[in-house]
Amino acid sequence: MNEEAGTTSAPGSGEAAGLDAQGAAVIMQQARERAGSELRVRRPMLFVTWGLVLLIGYGAMWLSVLGQQPFRGPAWPTLLLAFLLLLAALIITAQIVDWAASGVGGRSEVQRGIFALALAAGYAALLIEKIAVAGAGVSRPVQAVLGAAAPMLAAGLVFVATSAVAARLNWTRLALGLWLLAVAAGGAWGGPVTTFAVCALAGGGGVLLMAVVEPRLRRS
């Protein structure tokens, strides 16, 4: 069976001539693998990107507030580092999604748009609320706890809510969402310093772990 001849020959009568069952099975397998590798968003790469951003970003903030007396909050250079990491992660995410989703339209496109809108709107609302809280005279430690935990909370809620949007329940997204909610709630109890460490190690570590777990879950 000449597979390439089959793919480039002009269609007409007798076009299946020479295509045996074994050859057809090979073509199906190759087409399935190619479509799978090119049209699927490389989630492990996304998990590694965001896991590292959380680990380094929150980790740097934790180190900058460690031992502060009185508590003043993360230093400006670490906030700038976190902002730059966030920007880099957004660019990488857009690139990874674009590789797979280019040319794909329909329901998935709408779902991706809603997912992005939910995250963007959630974080915009959080930023405005954080400014309002600071303006209301709330203490630095409380601002730090809110500032660290609230982004995890927002992301966790969006992940949980969108895990059931597709035809099949997305277990990875659900598990990750619930984990982020647990990290946000649990970390807040540790106080303004510990919450950064919890978000860095448990939040970032959890997302990094997903990079290993997700491909196995998908294959099983």
Partner 1 sequence: MSEEELDPAIHVPARLRIMVTLASLPDGDDLSFTRLQDLIGLTPGNLITHLRKLEDTGYITTHKNGGGVTGRTSVALTLGGRSALDRYSAALRELLDSASPPAPGTRT
**Binding site residues, partner 1, CB under 8 A:** 3, 5-11, 15-16, 19-25, 27-28, 31-32, 34-36, 38-39, 102-109, 166-167
The answer to whether residues 156 and 187 touch, using CB atoms and an 8 Å cutoff, is no
Cα separation, 34 vs 106, in Å, equals 21
Q: Which is nearer to partner 1, 6 or 44 (CB)?
A: 6
CB of 70 to partner 1, least distance (A): 54
Output 11 or 70, the one with its CB closest to partner 1: 11
How far is CA 58 from each of CA 18, 77, 128, 198, rounded to the nearest angstrom?
61, 13, 21, 9
Taking the complex as a whole, how short is the minimal distance between the CB of residue 28 and partner 1, in angstroms? 5
CB closer to partner 1 out of 81 and 116: 116
**Residue 24 in tokens:** 């057809």
Query: Shortest distance, CB of residue 29 to partner 1, whole angstroms?
Result: 9
What is the chain's Cα-based Rg?
Answer: 23
Closest approach of partner 1 to the CB of residue 174, in Å: 17
- Which pair of tokens denotes residue 173? 């997204």
Which CB atom, from 166 or from 217, has the smaller least distance to partner 1? 166
Contact assessment for residue 74 and residue 65, using Cβ atoms and an 8 Å cutoff = yes
